[in-house]
Structure 1
């Protein structure tokens, strides 16, 4: 969940990052175990700028920090993107095989573990594990949407190299006292939120006689509403700002294959019969604020740039085995499991502030039908009020809240959608 710039109509305006900053792609080279940086403005590539652990499998960027998860080293490395240096490491128990990460609204980092079937909650400042929760068998994908956390289990049996029923586990933050599950397709690897507001689960299939499918899940009822028989063996995906979902689907010989479908209508635009052809081994996918998409081509050692018209318009040569990547722009907000938005398009206004009973919350600059969550915390960090899944009818909403039951004082309002989050201060006087 992620994006919304805050500004207070009477008092405070929160500054945004400088305009016109270069944007970058940070690429995890799985075989080389290094990080490459692509300046997307100048097209300059800097290879092997930082050394990673063994089997790096995921990267997330928050603020000016990058977090790289190393599956075999069983740790997360933290890098300062301004100084281009490593500033810390979070170590896990050996053999858990950490797989993918997601940030929660409170700043904690959640990590799935493939071998141990456990879910970690990590406190970044102390670099410690807050919770270690047994969930399933072989966990891979993770996505946090509103106050709900979703985890996929590919249910792999290493004894006979088979996949059992794919599972989607879910529970509600912060308690996570009750976990439920729903059966989905074979080998559910990663998830994204479609432009329809639903979860799209990328089920890769068994690489043999069961082919790729996208399972569409209502995030509120957690029920299957549709499925898309895309075919092939897609494993990665991303939604761009034009409501198109691009899937990295391998292609290991002559060229790589990227599929594409409409995130709202589910129309398949590119599939196994007419893939977007990239460098061999198309895997990790990421998008920028302009709607371009980038595929990590593992076999060829390149990154392909695909424009909003589904055309390959550029190739960047990086390190050996590019696997995943993350987009970074100081003028953008959000994490790379949803498309990043330009902060200048998003505003959040509170009126009046200070207030003594009713507060109007005006949010503008996001897409029609997007779900917005609003949480209010006191100075001790306790949640005192929340409004979940506020549906936007157009490109703005006005939500009114009566805070008269609370004591006078300073509170913090956190508003977020899947694509961004922001926090601002409000004052209640009586």
Structure 2
């Protein structure tokens, strides 16, 4: 552990990584620092609006998107030169944000600074191609962070009002643009990450004797550790990160430490750091873990379908890697006979296509079980992924 490696602004609140550089967001001094991770020297400093309370930053390969809690703005800046590239007022005291596909998703807490209450929690959906507010989705009380699970659903961490409304996780399908489920985790979780095994971990405070970490299966929703049996860590767990080997790291605001834990919650080591650690990133030789504001690169696979069972039509979610060429989804019956083929064109991203329950001649298929399989070509050879089951009920 090496402390005091560089000088930051007043009240650093978030840290992120993109294109070989570290970015630190300072709330009180209102600036975004670009730092070289090799020399720890500052490349440049982007001034923000004093009093806007910049709270979190999300990065893609070209831009930084800064969520400002007090002003209710999302500000965009060029990562190459630090110049401003527009701003959107979304309101709702925004906090955490996540970039996924061509959209920026922002948690709107609904905080009222007059009486310290929380109104309707929302998630703003911003189109990154046009940099416009595309819509808002109502979620639970006080959403503070968003992260993504291995099935490409967004998990929205709603902390509650610190009184009579406890924490809940809302699960959002970015393809159908709908809330598909919720998990009443309880307590006061504030942010989350997903481990290499699909287990989600939540920073959940804990301000007496121990800090708390909750966990649940992000694919099934099964709660593993909640308020009654939390993983214990340093006092005041504020945020988390996971490395490429699956170890968990907690920023412990109350004890000024970072704790390393196994996936099962056993403490491996504790490191003393500066006053009030709030955010961290992990850079290792295998992968770059960039906390809660970036999503994994698309791989070629099917992500399920909705609804299932279905009657007239079902939407099949898919993910295409940049290497995929000539991709299509083959629909076949239990005998292996191909009934239809849905061409996906040249898009390399997350998307969806509808199957209307008909064969290639336009005839209605009978009720029963069918299968969908993603097929494509790449420089290394054909891609043929595991099929998913579709249940048609006439």
TM-score (normalizing by structure 2):
0.76
Q: Spell out, residue by residue over 1:304-350, the C-alpha distance to the aligned partner (whole angstroms, 9 max, x if none).
A: 11212232222111112111111012442463338999xxxx9x9xx
Instruction: Call closer, same or farther: CA 1:283–1:154 in 2, change over 3 Å.
Output: same
The farther-off stretch of 198-207 and 317-326 is: 317-326
Q: Find out whether 1:125 has 2:80 as its counterpart.
A: yes
- 1:181 shift after superposition: 0.8
The farther-off stretch of 331-340 and 281-290 is: 331-340
Aligned residues: 325
Q: Find out whether 1:386 has 2:347 as its counterpart.
A: yes
Counterpart residue number, 2:333: none
Q: Find out whether 1:318 has 2:265 as its counterpart.
A: no
For 1:372, which of 319, 344, 347 is the aligned residue?
319
Residues 246 and 258 in structure 1, CA contact (< 8 A), matched pair in contact too = yes
- 1:397 shift after superposition: 6.5
- 1:368 shift after superposition: 7.6
Residues 202 and 235 in structure 1, CA contact (< 8 A), matched pair in contact too = yes
Residues 167 and 188 in structure 1, CA contact (< 8 A), matched pair in contact too = yes
For 1:186, which of 122, 141, 144 is the aligned residue?
141
Q: Which has more radius of gyration? A: 2
Instruction: Call closer, same or farther: CA 1:230–1:319 in 2, change over 3 Å.
Output: same
Q: Distance in 2 between matches of 1:226 and 1:234?
A: 17
Counterpart residue number, 1:224: 179
Counterpart residue number, 1:251: 206
Residues 296 and 324 in structure 1, CA contact (< 8 A), matched pair in contact too = yes
Residues 334 and 340 in structure 1, CA contact (< 8 A), matched pair in contact too = no
Counterpart residue number, 2:386: none
Counterpart residue number, 2:48: 92
Residues 124 and 133 in structure 2, CA contact (< 8 A), matched pair in contact too = no
Q: Find out whether 1:209 has 2:164 as its counterpart.
A: yes
**Structure 2 spans left out of the alignment, 5+ residues:** 305-316, 324-344, 353-372, 379-394
Counterpart residue number, 2:24: 68
Q: Distance in 1 between matches of 2:218 and 2:203?
A: 15
Q: Distance in 1 between matches of 2:375 and 2:75?
A: 36
Counterpart residue number, 1:399: 376
**Structure 1 spans left out of the alignment, 5+ residues:** 1-44, 349-362, 377-383, 402-430
Instruction: Call closer, same or farther: CA 1:239–1:190 in 2, change over 3 Å.
Output: same
SS in 2 for 1:261: strand
- 1:171 shift after superposition: 2.9
Q: Spell out, residue by residue over 1:44-87, the C-alpha distance to the aligned partner (whole angstroms, 9 max, x if none).
A: x1112112111111101224321000011111111111112222
Q: Distance in 2 between matches of 1:187 and 1:252?
A: 20
Q: Distance in 1 between matches of 2:70 and 2:295?
A: 31
SS in 2 for 1:250: coil
Counterpart residue number, 1:57: 13
Q: Distance in 2 between matches of 1:160 and 1:177?
A: 31
- 1:158 shift after superposition: 0.9
Counterpart residue number, 2:383: none
The farther-off stretch of 224-233 and 135-144 is: 135-144
The farther-off stretch of 154-163 and 106-115 is: 106-115
Counterpart residue number, 2:117: 162
Q: Distance in 1 between matches of 2:349 and 2:292?
A: 20
Residues 216 and 223 in structure 2, CA contact (< 8 A), matched pair in contact too = yes
Q: Distance in 2 between matches of 1:262 and 1:230?
A: 12
Counterpart residue number, 2:57: 101
Counterpart residue number, 1:294: 249
- 1:125 shift after superposition: 1.4
Counterpart residue number, 1:47: 3
SS in 2 for 1:46: coil
Q: Distance in 2 between matches of 1:58 and 1:398?
A: 41
Residues 51 and 70 in structure 2, CA contact (< 8 A), matched pair in contact too = yes
Q: Distance in 1 between matches of 2:84 and 2:294?
A: 29
Q: Spell out, residue by residue over 1:354-391, the C-alpha distance to the aligned partner (whole angstroms, 9 max, x if none).
A: xxxxxxxxx67x99879535679xxxxxxx96343258
- 1:400 shift after superposition: 5.2
Q: Distance in 2 between matches of 1:191 and 1:132?
A: 21
Q: Find out whether 1:148 has 2:142 as its counterpart.
A: no
Instruction: Call closer, same or farther: CA 1:285–1:178 in 2, change over 3 Å.
Output: closer
The farther-off stretch of 173-182 and 106-115 is: 173-182
